[in-house]
A and B are shown apart, each in its own frame.
Chain A
Amino acid sequence: MGEQSERTNRIKDVGRAAGALVVGVAAVDAFNEFVPEGHRPADLLPGAQSVVVAGNLGPTAGAWRCPDHRVMEINGYDFRENVAIHVMCDFIEREYGYQAIQAASLPTAGHQAPMSMMLAAVLAGLGTRSLAANIILHPEYGMLYYAAALTTLPLDADHVLEKDVCPAPPCVQMFRKLGTTPCLASCPKDDGGCLEGEIGPDGRIAYSYYDRERCTARSQNFGTSGLQKGLLDILNEEDPERRRAMIYSDFFTQSVSSACFYKESVAQCFECMRVCPVGRTYKRLT
């Protein structure tokens, strides 16, 4: 095993020991085909050679069973993969003397983040993009959360998965029979939802549609967006009694709370993933 392969494996081991469920590496050049200038790895770290991606599960199996959606709204995502990325970055700089940074993934201009973690996960061979809100599905675990490190250290890049994870075979059969899939049926565009799609004769996604702003109203129900919407209405309300009722409403209170606790601010709708068969064994205990 060459030196580069050895250090690639060592870094992945460090990431897994730090809590990542999966770790992959993407080549920086691979991003060029999919994202514009300004959002590529070398735009964030000049001279970047590799993108190390860590993924982790979100809700526990028990959380998926809860009939109250609010439970997963406030504990569905604990950002553990970010810890693994920090540990790997420290390791790379300390042990190998190459630059490493956590790829900035928080939005800095509206919904726009400097770099896409979802694309990084695809290019690192950790999953493929699905019909369900373009969520990346890992072949074994299904939906994972991803964070990435950019480094000037050359590493062995993993390959994009050859086989699409979505649609899963049961979904292909369902589409043939019913013209829909579980995720599309859970949140259909023609019924006020976010999703629409088609599976082609080859069993692959032929068409997908995702309304991100509607999804924002659901997945970031409370937090930045809900706070802005509520605040505008409050400021525009002239009647002081009505204004008071709005300020102290449950909706506004929960919005402010989510703006204070970052774990409550995102990942607030799981309905398309709840019915997804991929990674089903991790959503239930037998």
Chain B
Amino acid sequence: MSGFFFVEPEVYRRYKDQVLELSNSVQINVQEHLPREHRRRGLSDREIAERLGLEERVVREIRVVAERDRYGLDEWQKAIEFKDRACRAYAKEGASYVFEGRRKR
């Protein structure tokens, strides 16, 4: 063993989707102006732990690993390409570049 705390892969696999969903990973309707009944916030590690019946530090480990594991390394490479494309397009055309080919949904 390494000597520091980390969760076993099997525990991680079992809970990662639930933990990530309950956390601040995907943020929907967090704006403060929204009525309380429509506003959502991510739960803290402690709150998730209470809900799932796990230790807080286990939830923390699962959440932290899952945050990094959510997308593959190829997403980081795509990010470089996205930014290069967007930045150059703006330099050339201004903000209008985002509306090329857009139609009302």
Contact = CB atoms under 8 A, between A and B. Distances in A.
Given A218-B79, A274-B87, A128 B47 contact: no
Interface stretch (A10-18, A84-92, A139-147, A200-208): A200-208
Interface stretch (A47-55, A66-74, A97-105, A149-157): A66-74
B46 A178 contact: no
Contacts of B47: 36
Nearest to B95: A275
Contacts, number: 152
Contacts of B71: 213-214, 217
A1 to B, nearest CB: 29
Interface residues of A, number: 62
A177 B63 CA distance: 40
Contact of A111 (B24, B26, B78): B24
- Classify the interface of chain B: helix, strand, loop or mixed: helix
Contacts of B87: 66-69, 271, 274
A225 B87 CA distance: 22
B26 A128 contact: no
A164 B99 CA distance: 24
Nearest to A269: B83
B44 A186 contact: no
Given A109-B60, A178-B104, A221-B80, A35 B41 contact: yes
A212 B27 contact: yes
Nearest to B88: A67
Given A36-B43, A65-B91, A112-B24, 4 more contacts: A208-B30, A269-B83, A271-B87, A277-B95
30 contacts: A34-B41, A36-B41, A36-B47, A37-B46, A38-B46, A67-B91, A68-B87, A109-B60, A109-B64, A110-B64, A111-B24, A128-B32, A134-B31, A160-B32, A177-B104, A179-B104, A179-B105, A185-B99, A208-B29, A208-B30, A210-B28, A212-B24, A212-B26, A212-B27, A213-B70, A213-B71, A217-B75, A217-B78, A217-B79, A225-B68
Interface of A: 33-39, 65-69, 73, 109-112, 119, 122-123, 128-129, 134, 160, 164, 177-180, 182, 185-187, 192-193, 204-205, 207-214, 216-218, 221, 225-226, 228-230, 233, 251, 268-269, 271, 274-275, 277
